[in-house]
Structure 1
Amino acid sequence: MSETTAHPAAARLGIPRQTTAPTEGRAEAEQLAGTPAEWELKKDRGSTTVWKVTGPVGQWALKIGRSEDAAVVAREAEVLRRIATVPTTSYGARSKSGRTSDSAWQLTPWLEGPSTWEAFRPVRDGGTDRAQALAAAVDLAAAVGALHQSGWVHGDVQPHHSIHARGGVRLIGCSWAWHLKLPPSYASHSGLLHLMSPELMQRVESEQRPIAPSQPDETYALAAGLWWAATNSWPLDYAHLGIDPATFTAKGLREVLVRRWPPLGRISAWPQLEEVLRAVLTARPSERPSALHLAQWLRSLPS
């Protein structure tokens, strides 16, 4: 098969888009997936690309970081080697990686299943069937809790970084994960700004480095991410401050928030979920429930 194939999504839309298999990690990917292999570009963020490689033996994900993103991909490869004993990231045991002069790549098994964000789509669309979303929320909270019990912090928990596969939740996007035996990275931005706890934002603005998101910080991000997944809105009511967060740089918005923290919005369509998430998001850091406690609370909700 030619190394250049039409992108399936583009083909469905009648767009003659072509994708060309990369050179980095190609031989290793085709050895694992088998040949002939089909290459599908799933994500392209300039310096970072993610490919789905499908062959007669299996499916693999190839992530490539170039220029400044090479170090990010290389760190994730190191994390996955170390964190493979944790069930939620056990796929890392089968990962492979490599470096070139200006890039880094890693191969991991392709994880089939919806993300937490996708599992919440019926809720965001106004549907009344919440069973899939609630089950995904419980499973994600339990997965993050299990990760914390192992001594790890993911560093970038959000509803797009969890895949609900047949064997259970798998956490992806692990570049900034840290452990006592693998210190946090100086390059970490501590996760998505809109999901940051107030105390983590204070530490980021203090310019202390490296920033090490704590497990309570991560429980906050978990609850904030579920709020976002349910509403397609950030948990904080920025309108209360009279601002549009999209018009600010990250630093500019942090400077506003460290001076004045807005109240939470509402989850009008699912008040029971709002009550549980609000309890986490408004708790003092020392009193914030753990991810496992959040999982227990979510299990008690009617779907």
Structure 2
Amino acid sequence: MTTSTPPREIPREVLDVITPESQRLVLDRRGSTVWHVTAANRATEETAAYAVKVGYASETHAHTALAPSREAYVLRTLRPDVIRDGEWGQGTWNIQPWHPGPSLYEKWEPCRSAKRSALPDVLDALSCTEALSELHRVGWVHGDVQPAHLIVGQQGVTLIDLALARGRTVPERYDFAYRGCLVHYEAPEISRSVLETGTAVPTRASDVYALGASLMISATGWRHVAYPDDAPRDVQRQAIVDGPHRPVTIPGELGQLVNAMLMPSPADRPTAAEACEALCLAL
């Protein structure tokens, strides 16, 4: 697939599957567009909300053309009855349920306000960790844990955007190499491998590190490692490799746990299940 331009409308191939009653573009960047769509469920005729993801090859992210179908495959191993996907002229697409609720970063905004009007909610942190622990339990590593991918709903936290997940076999036609994630949440071993080889292998331990970095930035507004905002990615990654991480200023047991999750050595970090146990004791 060659470099192409983002779709300005939902492709016809998707509209053959879903008939929107309303649609709103919510993301358009780096080879991916996402629409919030309401449509009647053709089985129940009840209106429901969906996320429609359409991938295309950008200049910097060629793999994003395949990402929606790759994610659909991962999701079907978790929720087999709710995902549709296919191909269009410039890439692939998927349709999945829309998960309502704020991201963790949005939910914890009062913690970062000038008045620091709230403390991080340990129950939210537990729900995030439980979602990651369950993913690990069924054999997947997320590979792209970040606050925007932790949706705090009424029934708990949903971990979204699994296109980079690793751990189980994915059809070769939709697979691609892992070249790191959003650098703000990369573990040192991931950044080091990407710098040295161009690729990396995400692990449960690197997921735990990313969750710790997500909890830290959501609670404090600070990235886990200091580097200039406009620094090139290789400079950012080198800063993560060189360390150390910023001091964790979250009070109490949650802060102690986040500090442990950000240990430089993967072997020194708790597992997601162990983190759940620690947070349960902190409630």
* TM-score normalized by the length of structure 1: 0.77
User: In 2, distance between residues paired with 1:116 and 1:101?
Assistant: 35
User: In 1, distance between residues paired with 2:111 and 2:248?
Assistant: 14
User: In 2, distance between residues paired with 1:137 and 1:298?
Assistant: 8
Query: Residue 7 of structure 1 aligns with which residue?
Result: none
Say which SS state the counterpart of residue 76 (structure 1) adopts.
Answer: helix
Distance change in 2, residues 1:283/1:253 (3 Å):
closer
5+ unaligned residues in a row in structure 2: which ranges? Answer: 1-7, 41-46
User: In 2, distance between residues paired with 1:166 and 1:216?
Assistant: 28
Query: Residue 5 of structure 1 aligns with which residue?
Result: none
Asked if structure 2 preserves the Cα contact closer than 8 Å seen for 1:151 and 1:180, the reply is: yes
Query: Residue 28 of structure 1 aligns with which residue?
Result: 17
Distance change in 2, residues 1:253/1:100 (3 Å):
same
Structure 1 vs Structure 2 CA RMSD: 2.5
Equivalent in 138, 146, 157 of residue 134 of structure 2: 146
Give the deviation of 1:79 after TM superposition: 1.7
Asked if structure 2 preserves the Cα contact closer than 8 Å seen for 1:24 and 1:64, the reply is: no
Q: Is 1:199–2:199 an aligned residue pair?
A: no
User: In 2, distance between residues paired with 1:98 and 1:20?
Assistant: 16
Asked if structure 1 preserves the Cα contact closer than 8 Å seen for 2:150 and 2:159, the reply is: yes
1:234-258 deviation per Cα after TM superposition (whole angstroms, max 9, x unaligned): 022x2xxxxx432321123223443
Give the deviation of 1:46 after TM superposition: 5.9
User: In 1, distance between residues paired with 2:11 and 2:171?
Assistant: 32
Query: Residue 87 of structure 1 aligns with which residue?
Result: none
Query: Residue 64 of structure 1 aligns with which residue?
Result: 54
Query: Residue 233 of structure 2 aligns with which residue?
Result: 250
User: In 1, distance between residues paired with 2:100 and 2:230?
Assistant: 36
Equivalent in 69, 75, 91 of residue 70 of structure 2: 75
Distance change in 2, residues 1:165/1:247 (3 Å):
closer
User: In 1, distance between residues paired with 2:149 and 2:196?
Assistant: 27
Equivalent in 196, 199, 220 of residue 209 of structure 2: 220
Q: Counterparts in 2 of 1:220-239, with a 5 A limit?
A: 220-236=209-225, 238=226
Give the deviation of 1:50 after TM superposition: 0.8
User: In 2, distance between residues paired with 1:214 and 1:179?
Assistant: 8
* TM-score normalized by the length of structure 2: 0.82
Q: Counterparts in 2 of 1:90-101, with a 5 A limit?
A: 90=79, 93-101=81-89
Q: Which amino acid aligns with 1:70?
A: A
1:110-155 deviation per Cα after TM superposition (whole angstroms, max 9, x unaligned): 1112222222122122444437x32211101011011111111011
Q: Which amino acid aligns with 2:71?
A: E
Query: Residue 291 of structure 1 aligns with which residue?
Result: 272
Comparing 140-149 with 157-166, which one deviates more in the overlay?
A: 157-166
Q: Is 1:169–2:157 an aligned residue pair?
A: yes
Distance change in 2, residues 1:156/1:183 (3 Å):
farther
1:164-183 deviation per Cα after TM superposition (whole angstroms, max 9, x unaligned): 33443222110111124339
User: In 2, distance between residues paired with 1:46 and 1:251?
Assistant: 18
5+ unaligned residues in a row in structure 1: which ranges? Answer: 1-18, 85-89, 239-243
Q: Which amino acid aligns with 2:94?
A: Q
Query: Residue 3 of structure 2 aligns with which residue?
Result: none
User: In 1, distance between residues paired with 2:132 and 2:204?
Assistant: 9
Asked if structure 1 preserves the Cα contact closer than 8 Å seen for 2:149 and 2:160, the reply is: yes
Give the deviation of 1:272 after TM superposition: 4.5
User: In 2, distance between residues paired with 1:225 and 1:175?
Assistant: 19
Give the deviation of 1:100 after TM superposition: 1.8
Q: Which amino acid aligns with 1:54?
A: T
User: In 2, distance between residues paired with 1:48 and 1:199?
Assistant: 27
Query: Residue 118 of structure 1 aligns with which residue?
Result: 106
Distance change in 2, residues 1:24/1:130 (3 Å):
farther
Query: Residue 34 of structure 2 aligns with which residue?
Result: 50
Query: Residue 247 of structure 2 aligns with which residue?
Result: 265
Q: Which amino acid aligns with 1:150?
A: V
Distance change in 2, residues 1:229/1:176 (3 Å):
same
Identical positions, percent: 29
User: In 1, distance between residues paired with 2:48 and 2:184?
Assistant: 37
